[in-house]
Amino acid sequence: MTIVSSRIVTIPNVLSLFRLLLIPVFLIFLLTHEYLMALITLVVSSATDFVDGFVARRFNQVSRVGQLLDPAADRLFIFSTLIGLAWGGFVPWWLTGVIIARDVLLLVLGIVLANHGFGPLPVHHLGKMGTFALLFAMPVLVLGAAFPAIDQIANPVGWAAALWGVFLYWWAGVIYALQAGRIIREPQDPPVGASDTLDS
């Protein structure tokens, strides 16, 4: 059983904060065409995402702050990276829009749940898999720009991972929406014998 603590300063939380601080660094490198440095920054950021999760579970450092900070760092990094990649012409703007739309959906769900007195939904494994695919795809796409000789390999591999990540990302989003709807409806179920005219 995972014990969730109220600690703020933990190794996973520090890594998540570090990942947030790398966002402007990556964007500066990308927009100034320093593709190798952008690639290194992106790889380091992606690595911290996996390390902080491992450390949190392995050393019982799961915290309430981390449960909010880690996915927030993931989404902000993916969002900012996609904006940078689209701006640089690596990916089309529609792909950025599709991914951002899913995060807007989760934001709306979070607000709705909070208005009904519920906390955020636990992270679904499909969402983590989608995040993994996207965090893998983005450095691969930048890899092709940093080393043009392998672009013919890196580009299709990066695109395959990106599209798979988008699919999983939205699949998880639909599951979150269904879970939120079920959670909100359950406390409002009428008692036995009550009118069912308001049932959905």
Residue 76 has pLDDT above 60, yes or no: yes
C-alpha distances out from residue 166 to 47, 65, 149, 151, Å: 20, 27, 27, 22
CB 10 within 8 A of CB 56: yes
Indicate the pLDDT class of residue 198, thresholds 50, 70 and 90.
very low
Return the pLDDT at 200.
34
Query: By three-state DSSP, how is residue 142 classified?
Result: helix
Average pLDDT, the chain: 82
Segment (H or E) for 179: helix 151-185
Domains, the chain: 11-185 (1.20.120.1760)
Return the pLDDT at 1.
52
Q: In the numeric block, which tokens belong to residue 40?
A: 């290194």
Query: By three-state DSSP, how is residue 195 classified?
Result: coil
Return the pLDDT at 191.
46
Return the pLDDT at 195.
41
Q: Other CB atoms closer than 10 Å to residue 151's CB: what's the count?
A: 15
Write out pLDDT tens, residues 77-125: 888 888 888 888 888 899 889 988 998 898 899 889 889 888 777 777 8
- Taking the alpha carbons at both ends of the chain, their separation in whole angstroms is 36
Distance CA 84, CA 188 (A): 44
Return the pLDDT at 3.
66
At 155, which amino acid appears? N
At 133, which amino acid appears? A
Return the pLDDT at 66.
74
Q: What angle do CA 163, 72, 63 make, to 5 degrees?
A: 125
Return the pLDDT at 13.
84
Write out pLDDT tens, residues 128-157: 899 889 888 888 988 888 888 999 999 999
Q: In the numeric block, which tokens belong to residue 2?
A: 């995972």
Indicate the pLDDT class of residue 35, thresholds 50, 70 and 90.
confident
Distance CA 54, CA 66 (A): 13
Q: Distance of alpha carbon 59 from its chain centroid, rounded?
A: 23
